[in-house]
């Protein structure tokens, strides 16, 4: 008998949930701080912001989730999970200390050490799509001198639906990030911006000069965010999107996530808008 364990891409790293944060007022989103059980697994873990991993619950299955921690946060992994199916519902019922497998990192990530280096960065996010952009932002703040201006436009339906509220507060007190946090409607106690992300993006009007935009959010938000940006000179090759599709293997084999000839799990999830425009709309 031969043992298949060397470099088995289907074998998750055993991990444990170290902390759980309820992110949103409706409790549909929770953040899981996960430690890989073997110290060498944790020490060897490395990823690029924008990559994802499979969270693996034996008996329930696996679910692809964007990695919300930055590679600079070395002693743990963070995943923010929306409750939407079998695995995520089971995960939402789990407590601190529970066992969980992590398979990854998977996919390509944002080119933080390549094309994005030296650029002015505009991060535009809506709803719970902020997770891998949090990872990106933390990474960029840890290498602040490698990037120009950093502008963040982040919106949610209500103040209670914003992720990472404490961090949002601390970022808005820094003078090396321009924060624009917005909610859809006026609400008592909310003193920040009010309006949809595309409207705020149009008002902020970030300059396209030596800049890149990283946009994550519902398709409808992305659709309406593009025209105000294009009006002030942004082009598709400056805009990075992160696609989502149903995934199983995460290795570009099983066929579930293909968009034409590309696999979102292996070739993506990050694509420039330029690349996406050349593909069938199957995401």
Phi-psi bin for 109: left (phi > 0), alpha (psi -120 to 50), beta? left
* Residue count (the chain): 283
* 155 bridge partner residues: 126, 182
Interaction of residue 40 with another protein, rule CB under 8 A: no
Interaction of residue 42 with another protein, rule CB under 8 A: no
Give the footprint of another protein on residues 95-124 (CB under 8 A).
99, 101
CA dihedral sign, ordered 133, 103, 282, 272: positive
Among 120, 258, 265, 273, binds another protein (CB under 8 A): 258
Interaction of residue 85 with another protein, rule CB under 8 A: yes
Classify 251 as helix, strand or coil: coil
* 96 bridge partner residues: none
To the nearest whole angstrom, how small is the minimum distance from the Cβ of residue 132 to another protein? 17
Instruction: Return the DSSP state at 206.
Output: -
Whichever of 233 and 260 has its CB closer to another protein, that residue is: 260
Among 1, 95, 191, 209, binds another protein (CB under 8 A): 1
* 61 bridge partner residues: 57
CA dist list (Å): 241 to 37, 84, 279: 33, 22, 13
Stretch of residues binding another protein (CB under 8 A), selected from 24-32, 84-92, 107-115, 231-239: 84-92
What are the φ and ψ backbone dihedral angles of 46, each rounded to 5 degrees? -150, 140
To the nearest whole angstrom, how small is the minimum distance from the Cβ of residue 278 to another protein? 7
Interaction of residue 261 with another protein, rule CB under 8 A: yes
Number of residues that bind another protein (CB under 8 A): 45
Give the footprint of another protein on residues 43-82 (CB under 8 A).
56-62
Determine the Cα–Cα distance for residues 105 and 70; give it in Å rounded to an integer.
Answer: 12
Determine the Cα–Cα distance for residues 169 and 171; give it in Å rounded to an integer.
Answer: 6
Give the footprint of another protein on residues 223-252 (CB under 8 A).
244-246, 248-249, 251-252
Q: Which residues of the chain form contacts with another protein (CB under 8 A)?
A: 1-12, 14, 56-62, 84-85, 88, 99, 101, 244-246, 248-249, 251-256, 258-261, 278, 280-283
């Amino acid at each position: 008998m031969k043992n298949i364990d060397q470099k088995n891409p289907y074998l998750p790293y055993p991990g444990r949930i170290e902390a759980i944060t309820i992110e949103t007022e409706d409790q549909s989103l929770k953040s899981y701080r996960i430690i890989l059980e073997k110290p060498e697994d944790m020490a060897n873990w490395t990823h690029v912001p924008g990559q994802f991993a499979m969270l693996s619950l034996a008996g329930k299955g696996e679910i692809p989730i964007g990695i919300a921690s930055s590679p600079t946060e070395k002693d743990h992994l963070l995943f923010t999970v929306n409750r939407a199916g079998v695995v995520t519902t089971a995960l939402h019922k789990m407590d601190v200390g529970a066992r969980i497998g992590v398979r990854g990192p998977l996919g390509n990530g944002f080119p933080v050490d390549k094309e994005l280096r030296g650029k002015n960065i505009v991060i535009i996010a809506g709803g719970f799509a902020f997770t891998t952009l949090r990872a990106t932002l933390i990474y960029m703040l840890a290498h602040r001198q490698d990037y120009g201006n950093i502008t963040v436009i982040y919106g949610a339906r209500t103040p209670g639906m914003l992720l990472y509220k404490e961090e949002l507060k601390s970022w808005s007190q820094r003078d090396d990030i321009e924060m624009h946090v917005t909610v859809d409607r006026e609400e008592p106690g909310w003193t920040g911006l009010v309006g949809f992300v595309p409207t705020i993006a149009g008002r902020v009007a970030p300059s396209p000069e030596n800049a890149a935009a990283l946009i994550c959010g519902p398709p409808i938000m992305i659709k309406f965010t593009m025209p105000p940006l294009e009006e002030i000179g942004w082009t598709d090759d400056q805009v990075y999107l992160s696609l989502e599709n149903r995934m199983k293997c995460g290795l570009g084999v099983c066929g579930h996530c293909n968009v034409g000839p590309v696999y979102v799990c292996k070739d993506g999830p990050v694509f420039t808008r330029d690349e996406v425009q050349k593909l069938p709309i199957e995401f």
